[in-house]
Amino acid sequence: MQRSWIGMDILFYVLFPLIIWYMGREWVGDYVSMLLTTVPGIIYTTIRFLVTRQFNVTGMALMILMIVGSVIDLLSGSALQMMWNDVWYGLILAGLLLGSILIGKPVGYYFMLDISAYFGYQREWIKEMLHHKRAFSLLQLLTLLYGIKQGSSSLVKAWMIDHFGVDGFNQILLVMKGWGWMFSLLISYIIYRLFRLIASLAAEKQPLTSKY
């Protein structure tokens, strides 16, 4: 199943948008073509949301972010402005992620609750495990990586827009997806470490120190 999702990710987030971009520019112009490149990803994300039944905090948050992003795209008015708006939106999201660490409520905590429940763990039990300070440190690191991923990709995109403009949309798309997948590997490793730690804590039955 995981391999099939990876293949579908490449198809709907990279190949279809590139095909639409190359074929649509001459017919409908840069802005409309760029708007249309987002449609395959929106449809795929919605279907995946329904198929995996991610009716939880993480799933709903992702859907809201996608809707907000789509509204911003529609209000942009031009291809270049749409690209710059995406940069500012990404930087705002990065700020929110990093801010959640500063206030002691890392977004990674809620993500781990949902992903653990998806794999069959009881939410109350996993909450107790995540309250341990070693787990809290990994949750902070997880959220930090999400924030760095979002912020750094926005900065790289800003640089590419400044140098290549709208004509560089295809290169920007490929670089952004590659950049995101690189960070996804690091994030997956931290999640793996968290599950290993949770299993270890459950076996040791150590007293827990709440951080929330």
| Residues 6+ away with beta carbon under 8 Å from 161 | 80, 83, 84, 87, 168, 172
Question: What pLDDT digit, counting tens, does each position of 52-85 carry?
Answer: 665 567 777 888 888 899 899 999 999 999 999 9
For the chain (212 residues), the mean pLDDT of every run of 10, in chain order, is 63 81 80 87 80 68 86 92 95 96 91 78 78 88 95 96 92 91 91 87 57 44
Q: pTM of this prediction? A: 0.81
3-state secondary structure of 103: coil
Q: Which of 37, 11, 32, 34 is nearest to 165 (CA)?
A: 34
